[in-house]
Chains A and B, each alone.
Chain A
Amino acid sequence: MRQAQPAHEPSWGWSGDEPLVRGMAEEAVELAQVRGAEYADARVVEVEEERFYATLTGDPDCRREHSLGIGVRVLLQGRWGFGARAHGDHPFHLDAAEAAIRMAGSSPAGVAAAWSPRPAELGEYRTAVGEDPFSVPLSRKEAILAQLLAAARARREIVDAMAGVNAKRQRRYFLSSEGSWQVQHLVECGGAYQVWAAKDGELQRRSYPNSFHGNTGAAGWEYVESLKLAEQAPRVVEEACALLTAPPCPGGVADVIIGPAMTALQIHESCGHALELDRILGDEAGFAGTSFIGAGDVGLLRYGSPAVTIVADPTRPGNRGSFGFDDEGVSARRAVLIDQGVVANFLSSRETGARIGRESTAAMRADGWQYMPLCFSTHVGLEPGSGSLDELLERLGDGYYLDMDRSWSIDNQRLNFQFGTEIAVEVRHGRRGRLLKNASYGGVTPEFWRKVEHVAGPAEARVFGLPCGKGEPKQWGFVSHTGIPMLVRGVLMGVAG
């Protein structure tokens, strides 16, 4: 498995010496086996992140962060243990293995983890990168931010603005006692722009390309350029100012089109998290919660209308949720999660899958070396229907177009949700009308998805990469979702008051 790569991968960090890293991972796994582990895996991860953000009112946030260490996971007489150590002067990889064994040994003997051996997987995966984002001069990035902030200063109603670009590169090495050895070179970058307009006690925000951490793709600097941040800035500023005097979006029951950014969040919160098999099986009940979906619901539970098909596909390149192997060494694969409205599969791991007699869908992921892998979304997206957004508006007739989250909340079973959007547009007879502010909608997940009448075609699809959080101690997950405008009938509006 190999994606296209730049002609010369830039030299960076410490872990470029693959044989050295492999030797270290082997030593850690071997030590765990010597200590009695029937299974062990080691992940050596090196990450470099660059973040360059600026605002109208504060200091720029220009920083590079580097992280390097090892996480060792062991199974000792059916009991899991995990140890993680930063690279240091000590034999940190052996310290991590010892810690993992010690933690596993501290658990009382009881029900053994569901675990069965699996053939070794060997491979390498690289993000396809055109222009290395870390080689782009700081001056070029600074010029983009300055241009975005200047656009914000053009209107006196704008009280603050945030412009940012980000980049990340990772080497992720995985080695297991089953013989798996995998090397992944991942690169991602993105951009964000937000402005806040205020007048007469009213504060409104507009964002581009998305409100929560902008947008990030698995690609080189060409991805940032494709966002055309500077080109979009004047529109974003004008819309924020227009919202100050826009009428509020009415409450009640209405037919709506949910725009792609909002659809992506809807998928993330009410589908992705709801289908994480560790949640479903109760492993995350103590913190993140459970799910309204049960382990026995495959093929039985009508989650949405027949227009709704949702697929996890980390093999699709270019997305923040794309990878070659998950963090327990299972190769990425496509899995239909919701098939024409019916639950078809889960975001699962080797163990959670085994507990219900299913194969892993390669969704066991961890943020860096420090954290134990959990079931996270990968690249999960809505499958397209047909037609353009204009045709969807025509089909809507009267209602509202809603997009870009302003606030979001959903319960610990991923059932009862309430979302606010940055903008709403009144639609009458299929035509866009007035801009409206402070829109919100809410509902119950399966009832909402069952009201989806139609999904627009592939030309209207947009991919959004975003971070999310899970686990104790909390770790970040980096995922992506394909959002497509969808027509939903009979939605409860104005729920935020």
Chain B
Amino acid sequence: MKDDLLQLRGADQLLGRVAEALQAMEMPGEGFITSRLGEYTRFAGDRIHQPQAIEECQLMVRAAGAHGGARAGTTRLESAAAAGREASRLARGLTVLGGGRQALARPGQRVDTSSLWHQGTLDFTAPARAALAARAIHDAGVVGATACGMFSRVVIELAVGNSEGVALYTRATEASFSVLVRRDEGSGYRGDLVRDVCTVEPERFIEGAVADAVLSGHPEPLAPGSYDVVLGPLAVGDMIGFFGSLGFTGDALAAGHGPVAQRRGVRVADDMITVRDDAGRPTGLPIPFDLEGVAKQNVTMLDQGRIGDAVLDLGTATTLGRQSTGHAHIGREEAPAPTPANLMLEPGDASVAELVAGVDRGVYLSRFWYTRLVDGEQSSITGVSRDAAFRIRDGALGPPVANGRFTEQVFGALSRADGVGKDLVSQPIPNVWNGCVTAPALRVRGFHLGFR
């Protein structure tokens, strides 16, 4: 039986479609095609309830008109020329607002796509995922728990072209894992997001989630207050995922607000904290260029605790008189904006057990949920902890505690960090195409739990 995920359109077809659209525009412009062929095996309780095979694709072109740029998008690739004509029609209709970016990516950039395609991920077929789901359901059942989650394999293609002659194409594999096991009031979760399935051991996700579910049952309430905490990698990644919203972006820099505009070089975190947007590393979801056809640069946002730089797209780079860092993004229902999409908190050298060993009285939190920005200027976020949470007593995990709300300043927490884990876990950044944040565990002193 043919494998749907290998029905790639390929560089010739996709770049050809982009070129068709550009030709039809009759003005300078750029375009891209993003394609995702994905299979998602969702399971809950005692069954696989949502096995899905989904195609998501879009061609989007931007006509750079004299009085402003305009875009047209379609999922119907055979309508590429029509999309080009539509974009230029819209661009010609703009007469008042102005501000149309003329800058386009230049050809000749070197991009490396060598680590993006993995046979192991292609082999993670529906039967293999179903077997893994069945094992999660079984292993949870053995301890009187229920399991749910999702295993997926995805093939993406990205093609970008412009009227300057840029024509870039890449393809990549992607797999995700999430397992939640629940028993009584306890629950355990494991997840990861990778290009290569062979870099993870999915069975260990199941074992870990089952173990945490068993250990975290019957949690005791936790009084609001400040605690020394060890945050699991997923909780840390959730926090680091806010760097875009905190102003490490070209639009904030151009508007003169946010940390890069106002406090560049200032220490806001411990010197063991370095946060980058680096799409060149194999961890997470590396990708060599952005939707404008600019090669991805490694941008250091926090450099050993000091405010570093912002990510830029062509528009903000033009405004700031700089080069784009390759961080153009355009999301559905959202304005185009430079966006960190491959965030990473640099790992340290400690195991989670070693981080916990450095806490006399404190709390371990495995992950956060529904975290939202409260005040960007203060780097203040709020959310709730979710799944396994334990007291730490005398340097070891103790009894489970109930999850609850936290409200903290990201920089405040990072300034009170004194231990960084070595093992990295990746998770998606919501609403960001190919968005991924990767982080290790972190020990933070005086983390505020409860309403402020």
Are the CB atoms of B451 and A442 closer together than 8 Å? yes
Are the CB atoms of B369 and A412 closer together than 8 Å? yes
CA distance A79 to B100 in the complex (A): 51
Are the CB atoms of A66 and B452 closer together than 8 Å? no
Partner of B69, one of A59, A418, A476, A495: A59
Segment from A142-150, A221-229, A378-386, A396-404 that makes contact with B: A142-150
Q: Does B257 contact A (CB under 8 A)?
A: yes
Partner of A107, one of B48, B257, B372, B377: B48
- Most chain-B CB neighbours within 10 Å: which of A60, A80, A95, A289? A60
Are the CB atoms of B75 and A59 closer together than 8 Å? no
Q: Does A292 contact B (CB under 8 A)?
A: no
Q: Does B44 contact A (CB under 8 A)?
A: yes
Are the CB atoms of A138 and B90 closer together than 8 Å? yes
Chain B interface extent, by class: 35 or more
Task: Report A-chain residues with C-beta under 8 Å of the C-beta of B431.
Answer: 469, 474
Partner of B382, one of A63, A79, A142, A418: A418
Query: Taking the nearest CB of chain A, how far is it from the CB of B61, in angstroms?
Result: 10
Are the CB atoms of A410 and B370 closer together than 8 Å? yes
Q: Does A371 contact B (CB under 8 A)?
A: yes
Query: Taking the nearest CB of chain A, how far is it from the CB of B171, in angstroms?
Result: 17
Query: Taking the nearest CB of chain B, how far is it from the CB of A381, in angstroms?
Result: 23
Are the CB atoms of A80 and B72 closer together than 8 Å? no
Task: Report B-chain residues with C-beta under 8 Å of the C-beta of A119.
Answer: none
Contact mask for chain B residues 380-412; partner A; CB cutoff 8 A; 1 contact, 0 none:
101110100000000000000001110100000
Are the CB atoms of A289 and B75 closer together than 8 Å? no
Are the CB atoms of A107 and B47 closer together than 8 Å? yes
Are the CB atoms of A203 and B376 closer together than 8 Å? yes
Task: Report B-chain residues with C-beta under 8 Å of the C-beta of A57.
Answer: 251, 254-255, 319
Contacts A139-B93, A410-B370, A497-B407 given; does A473 touch B380 at CB 8 Å: no
Q: Which residues B254-283 have CB closer than 8 A to chain A?
A: 254-257
Q: Does A323 contact B (CB under 8 A)?
A: no
Are the CB atoms of A497 and B150 closer together than 8 Å? no
Query: Taking the nearest CB of chain B, how far is it from the CB of A113, in angstroms?
Result: 8
Q: Which residues A1-28 have CB closer than 8 A to chain B?
A: 14
Closest to A405 in B: B372
Are the CB atoms of B73 and A63 closer together than 8 Å? yes
Q: Does A440 contact B (CB under 8 A)?
A: yes
Query: Taking the nearest CB of chain A, how far is it from the CB of B292, in angstroms?
Result: 12
Task: Report A-chain residues with C-beta under 8 Å of the C-beta of B383.
Answer: 409
Segment from B108-116, B192-200, B330-338 that makes contact with A: B330-338
Query: Taking the nearest CB of chain A, how far is it from the CB of B397, in angstroms?
Result: 22
Q: Does A340 contact B (CB under 8 A)?
A: no
CA distance A420 to B91 in the complex (A): 39
Partner of B407, one of A95, A284, A496: A496
Q: Does A298 contact B (CB under 8 A)?
A: no
Query: Taking the nearest CB of chain A, how far is it from the CB of B145, in angstroms?
Result: 12
Partner of A146, one of B96, B332, B369: B96
Are the CB atoms of B148 and A286 closer together than 8 Å? yes
Q: Which residues A46-102 have CB closer than 8 A to chain B?
A: 51, 53-55, 57-69, 79-89, 95, 99-100, 102
Contacts A138-B94, A286-B149 given; does A68 touch B51 at CB 8 Å: no
Task: Report B-chain residues with C-beta under 8 Å of the C-beta of A412.
Answer: 369-370, 384, 386
Q: Does A300 contact B (CB under 8 A)?
A: no
Contact mask for chain A residues 462-497; partner B; CB cutoff 8 A; 1 contact, 0 none:
000001010011101000000000000000101111
Query: Taking the nearest CB of chain B, how far is it from the CB of A242, in angstroms?
Result: 18
Contact mask for chain B residues 356-369; partner A; CB cutoff 8 A; 1 contact, 0 none:
00000000000001
Contacts A160-B255, A285-B182, A286-B148 given; does A82 touch B50 at CB 8 Å: yes
Contact mask for chain A residues 100-139; partner B; CB cutoff 8 A; 1 contact, 0 none:
1011101110110100000000000000000000000111
Partner of A103, one of B1, B126, B369, B370: B126
Partner of B452, one of A53, A82, A149, A497: A497
Task: Report A-chain residues with C-beta under 8 Å of the C-beta of B255.
Answer: 57, 159-160
Are the CB atoms of A409 and B372 closer together than 8 Å? yes
Partner of B40, one of A102, A162, A406, A473: A473
Closest to A442 in B: B451
Task: Report A-chain residues with C-beta under 8 Å of the C-beta of B327.
Answer: none
Q: Does B329 contact A (CB under 8 A)?
A: no
Contacts A58-B337, A409-B371 given; does A79 touch B452 at CB 8 Å: no
Are the CB atoms of B72 and A108 closer together than 8 Å? no
Are the CB atoms of B50 and A80 closer together than 8 Å? yes
CA distance A461 to B115 in the complex (A): 56
Query: Taking the nearest CB of chain B, how far is it from the CB of A83, in angstroms?
Result: 5
Query: Taking the nearest CB of chain B, how far is it from the CB of A45, in angstroms?
Result: 10
* Chain A facing B: main interface SS: mixed
Query: Taking the nearest CB of chain A, how far is it from the CB of B191, in angstroms?
Result: 9
Are the CB atoms of B407 and A60 closer together than 8 Å? no
Are the CB atoms of B374 and A420 closer together than 8 Å? yes
Q: Does A283 contact B (CB under 8 A)?
A: yes
Chain A interface extent, by class: 35 or more
Query: Taking the nearest CB of chain A, how far is it from the CB of B193, in angstroms?
Result: 12
Q: Does B212 contact A (CB under 8 A)?
A: no
Query: Taking the nearest CB of chain A, how far is it from the CB of B62, in angstroms?
Result: 8
Closest to B45 in A: A282
Are the CB atoms of A65 and B60 closer together than 8 Å? yes
Are the CB atoms of A60 and B332 closer together than 8 Å? no
Are the CB atoms of A69 and B257 closer together than 8 Å? no
- Most chain-A CB neighbours within 10 Å: which of B79, B146, B377, B407? B407
Contact mask for chain B residues 41-56; partner A; CB cutoff 8 A; 1 contact, 0 none:
1111111111111111
Q: Does B78 contact A (CB under 8 A)?
A: yes
CA distance A284 to B178 in the complex (A): 12
Closest to B56 in A: A370
Contacts A82-B50, A139-B93, A473-B54 given; does A282 touch B148 at CB 8 Å: yes
Q: Does A198 contact B (CB under 8 A)?
A: yes
Contacts A68-B75, A146-B97 given; does A282 touch B40 at CB 8 Å: no
Query: Taking the nearest CB of chain A, how far is it from the CB of B221, in angstroms?
Result: 12
Contacts A58-B335, A202-B377, A370-B56 given; does A442 touch B405 at CB 8 Å: yes
Task: Report A-chain residues with C-beta under 8 Å of the C-beta of B375.
Answer: 407, 438, 496
Task: Report B-chain residues with C-beta under 8 Å of the C-beta of A149.
Answer: 97
Are the CB atoms of A472 and B42 closer together than 8 Å? yes
Q: Does A296 contact B (CB under 8 A)?
A: no
Task: Report B-chain residues with C-beta under 8 Å of the C-beta of A64.
Answer: 71-73, 86, 90
Contacts A142-B97, A287-B178, A442-B405 given; does A82 touch B51 at CB 8 Å: yes
Are the CB atoms of A409 and B333 closer together than 8 Å? no
Q: Does A257 contact B (CB under 8 A)?
A: no
CA distance A160 to B256 in the complex (A): 10
- Most chain-B CB neighbours within 10 Å: which of A79, A149, A202, A370? A370
CA distance A68 to B76 in the complex (A): 7
CA distance A370 to B56 in the complex (A): 7
Query: Taking the nearest CB of chain A, how far is it from the CB of B259, in angstroms?
Result: 12
Query: Taking the nearest CB of chain B, how far is it from the CB of A119, in angstroms?
Result: 25
Closest to A374 in B: B50
Partner of B51, one of A80, A284, A407, A492: A80
Are the CB atoms of B430 and A469 closer together than 8 Å? yes
Are the CB atoms of A495 and B452 closer together than 8 Å? yes
CA distance A161 to B47 in the complex (A): 49
**What are the 8 tightest A-B residue pairs by CB atom distance, in nearest-first order?**
A497-B452, A106-B126, A63-B71, A495-B451, A99-B53, A138-B93, A286-B148, A103-B51
Query: Could you jot down 18 A-B contacts, CB within 8 Å?
Result: A57-B254, A59-B68, A68-B75, A69-B75, A83-B53, A86-B57, A108-B130, A137-B93, A139-B93, A287-B178, A408-B372, A409-B405, A411-B386, A418-B451, A469-B431, A494-B452, A496-B452, A497-B407
